[in-house]
């Protein structure tokens, strides 16, 4: 088995920046922004809100660290991070549909605009890790 091709310094920097973003967000989940993140947990989710906030914060810390330290596993890490961004998207939709204000998103327009940034995060994860480029052929 051959190892994936190396990534450019720009991709590497983008991967590390995304990792730092996730580390910051994960720490925020567990500390100063806990109530803001709790406001984004959809009411229809049959789990304790605080558990969801803490668990997603821990996941973000792990994923952020994985991005920063990716190495040979960067393709797998890229796919997992992209899947995470897809998995939390229903919470963003619920925030828009239910009109929940959090993180300064206090209008329907601002909450709607935010929805368009989630696909950007998915693409950022895939591009910065070259996950799509270096995926294994079946």
For the chain, what is the domain count? 1
Q: Which domain holds residue 99?
A: 9-127
Structure tokens at 76: 């797998």
Domain-embedded: residue 133: no
Is 133 in contact with 5 (CB distance < 8 Å)? yes
Domain-embedded: residue 2: no
- The predicted-structure confidence for 57-87, as pLDDT tens digits, reads as follows 999 999 999 999 998 899 999 999 999 999 9
Residue 13: strand, helix, or coil: helix
Q: In whole angstroms, how far apart are CA 64 and each of 42, 80, 99?
A: 24, 11, 29
| pTM of the full structure | 0.91
Rounded Cα gap, residues 22 and 84, in angstroms: 11
Domain-embedded: residue 82: yes
pLDDT of residue 1: 43
Report the percentage of the chain scoring pLDDT > 70: 96
Residue 105: strand, helix, or coil: strand
């Amino acid at each position: 088995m051959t190892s994936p091709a190396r990534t450019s310094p720009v991709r590497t920097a983008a991967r590390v920046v995304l990792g730092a973003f996730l580390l910051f967000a994960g720490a925020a989940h567990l500390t100063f922004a806990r109530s803001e993140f709790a406001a984004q947990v959809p009411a229809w989710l049959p789990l304790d809100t605080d558990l969801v906030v803490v668990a997603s914060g821990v996941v973000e810390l792990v994923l952020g660290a994985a991005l920063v330290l990716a190495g040979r596993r960067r393709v797998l890490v890229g796919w997992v991070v992209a899947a995470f961004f897809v998995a939390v998207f229903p919470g963003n939709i619920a925030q828009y549909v239910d009109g929940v204000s959090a993180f300064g998103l206090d209008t329907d327009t601002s909450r709607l605009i935010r929805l368009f940034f989630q696909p950007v995060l998915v693409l950022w994860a895939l591009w910065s890790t070259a996950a799509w480029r270096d995926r294994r052929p079946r």
